[in-house]
Structures are given as C-alpha cells and as structure tokens.
C-alpha cells in the first residue's frame, strides 16, 4: 500500500507520483547535485553523512514536538510550563557514515526521553538501514513505523514518520541548492 502526496504534480506519464517515488527522485537529485559539485557521497564530509545527520535530527525534532504537544516556534508553546531549551551536540558512531555529530533537542524540565538516539547512547547500528528505508526502499509510513519498532523497539506513529520524511526532503533539497563557497568550487583555486 502506498500513500499519495497531496499537491504533488503528476510525473512524466501524467500519473500522480507516490511518496516513495517523490523520495527516490529527491535522493537521485541530491546525488546528481553532489556529484556535479565534486562532493563525495561517502567519507567525512560526504552526502551519506549529511543525510544521516538530517534524518536523525529531524526524527529527534519530531519526537520533541510529540513530547511537547506543539511544533518548534509555535505560539502554543509560549508560557506553557515545560518548553524547548535549545539543543546539545552529541557525536554518535554509525556503521556506514562513521562519526556523525547531531544536535539533540532539550526541554526545560529534562523529561524528554529521545527514542531514536537514547540518552547516553553513542553507537547507532542499523541507522543507515533506516536512512535507506526512508529514502531508497520506498516503504510506506506504516512500514517505516514498523521498521523503527523492529530495529529500535521505538513506537513512532505513521504521522510522525510522514512529518519526518517531509522535513528531511525539504531540508535536503535546501542543502542541495545552497550557494557554494569559493573553496567548494571544482578545482579548488582561482589561479
């Protein structure tokens, strides 16, 4: 079973594209853009590390939104008792992307218990499998939710998975279209 994205323009054949097709196309575009800029796909500054970081941070932000009951910067969160309290940096070790430094959201009361990256957890195995599930395998939100439950023992709703994938696609498209610095250009020097 696949879900249709609302407001998605038809594909080349005139058919409405599924969420999985949109996600796969977004990944293809990210890979093409990274290669065109001469960036590595793997390695310390590669695309895989950037995607892994983005997926983890987006998942953590969605967990915090579910914990607080409102999205970041939403008026509903003002003067409501417990609220967001910035982030803290944490470096985790993944199987295929190596060390990834992520920003973990905090709440003022210290009651937020992240599921994707638990407190004091430093090694994430199978995170790359989740990244692949979100982007390459084209699983439905229900299948991705079940995958999180199987791999992490985490109960994540279909709605949360949908918001995570939407946010990741938006953020990665923004990352892909960011302006290049002079040092990022192919060839590396102006000589």
Residue ranges of the domains in the chain?
19-70+80-177
pTM of the predicted model, to two decimals? 0.59
Q: Where does 81-157 have alpha helices with state H? A: 127-135, 141-152
How does pLDDT run across 79-126, given as a tens digit for each residue? 767 788 899 999 998 877 788 999 999 988 889 999 888 888 887 766
- Cross-sheet strand order for the sheet of 98-107: 98-107, 84-94, 123-124
How does pLDDT run across 130-167, given as a tens digit for each residue? 655 565 567 777 777 777 777 665 666 777 777 766 76
The neighbour count for residue 162, using CB atoms within 10 Å, is 18
Residue that has been written with the tokens 């991705």 in this structure = 144
């Amino acid at each position: 079973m696949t879900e249709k994205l609302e407001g998605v323009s038809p594909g080349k054949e005139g058919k409405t594209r599924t969420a999985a097709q949109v996600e796969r196309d977004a990944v293809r575009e990210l890979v093409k853009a990274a290669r065109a800029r001469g960036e590595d796909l793997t390695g310390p500054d590669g695309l895989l590390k950037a995607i892994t970081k983005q997926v983890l941070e987006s998942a953590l932000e969605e967990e915090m939104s579910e914990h607080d009951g409102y999205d970041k910067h939403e008026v509903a969160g003002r003067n409501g008792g417990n609220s967001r309290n910035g982030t803290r940096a944490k470096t985790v070790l993944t199987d295929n992307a190596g060390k990834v430094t992520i920003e973990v959201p905090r709440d003022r009361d210290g009651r937020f218990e992240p599921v994707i990256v638990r407190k004091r957890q430093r090694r994430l195995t199978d995170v790359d499998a989740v990244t692949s599930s979100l982007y390459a395998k084209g699983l439905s939100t229900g299948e991705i939710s079940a995958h999180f439950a199987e791999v992490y023992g985490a109960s994540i709703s279909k709605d949360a998975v949908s918001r995570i994938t939407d946010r990741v696609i938006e953020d990665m498209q923004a990352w892909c279209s960011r302006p290049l610095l002079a040092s990022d250009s192919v060839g590396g020097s102006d000589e």
